[in-house]
Amino acid sequence: MEGIIIPRVTLEEIKELQEIGRATFSETFAHLNSQEDMQEYLKQSFSIEKLTDELTNQDSLIYFAVADEKIIGYLKINLRQAQTEKQNNDALEIERIYVLKEFHGLKVGQLLYQKALDLAYEIRAPYVWLGVWEENYRAIKFYEKNGFTVFGKHPFKLGQDEQTDLLMKKIVTVVSESKTAW
C-alpha cells in the first residue's frame, strides 16, 4: 500500500487515538472474549485520562498510520521507565501495534514496525521487546517473521479474565560505526 504516512500523535488528536484504539482492539479480540470483559477493558484502557497520561509521558511515543487522510492504524512505543515491565532501561517496548482489519495484509503493520525498529537503531537500544496474547496467532507469526523469539510470559488481565502474554524480543546489535540488526 502506497502513500502511508506515520506522524507522531499529539494531544489535540486524543479523540482520534481513542477511536482507533477502541476500534482496532475490539475488532481483534471482541469475538474471543465476553462482552462484559471487553466493555470494561475498552472503557478503562482507552479513557481520556489514561490516554492523556500516555500522550504526555515523555518516554512514550505514539504514531498513527494515515492513508488518504484516514487513520488506519497506530503504534505505541515505550522507553525507559514507561516500559510496562521491568526490562533493560535502554530497551524499546512495542506496547501496541494495531491496523484496522480491512487494511490487514497490506504491510501497514510492517511500516509501523519499521518505525519502531528505526527508533531502536537511533537510540541504540540493545533489543526491542513486546508482549502478545498467546492465542493471537497472526501477530505471533508477524513477529516471528520479523526475527522475534519468545523469552518469557506474563499474566494479562482483560476485564475479569486472566490471560497469558508471551514476551518476545529481537536483539538489535550495533556493529562498529554502522548499525545492523541480526
Ligand X SMILES: CC(C)(COP(=O)(O)OP(=O)(O)OC[C@H]1O[C@@H](n2cnc3c(N)ncnc32)[C@H](O)[C@@H]1OP(=O)(O)O)[C@@H](O)C(=O)NCCC(=O)NCCS
Q: Which residues bind ligand X (CB under 6 A)?
A: 24, 28, 97-99, 104-110, 132, 136, 138-139, 142, 145
Residue number, 51 or 72, with CB nearest to ligand X: 72
Q: For the CA atoms of 137, 61, 20, 153, what is the dihedral angle to 10 degrees?
A: 30
Cβ pair 3, 68 in contact under 8 A: yes
Residue number, 162 or 177, with CB nearest to ligand X: 162
What is the separation, in whole angstroms, between the first and last Cα of the chain? 26
Residue number, 11 or 144, with CB nearest to ligand X: 144
Q: How far is the CB of 3 from ligand X (least distance, A)?
A: 15
Residue number, 25 or 79, with CB nearest to ligand X: 25
Residue 39: which H helix or E strand, with range?
Answer: helix 35-45
Q: Check 63, 113, 127, 143 and give the catalytic one.
A: 143
Q: How far is the CB of 5 from ligand X (least distance, A)?
A: 15
Q: Which residue is nearest to ligand X (CB)?
A: 109
Cα–Cα dist 54/132, whole Å:
20
Residue 84 DSSP symbol: S
Q: How far is the CB of 179 from ligand X (least distance, A)?
A: 23
Rg for the chain, CA atoms, rounded: 16
Q: How far is the CB of 147 from ligand X (least distance, A)?
A: 13
> Is 143 labeled as catalytic in the residue annotation?
yes
Residue 71: name the closest of 26, 25, 21, 116 by CA.
Answer: 21
Catalytic residues: 143
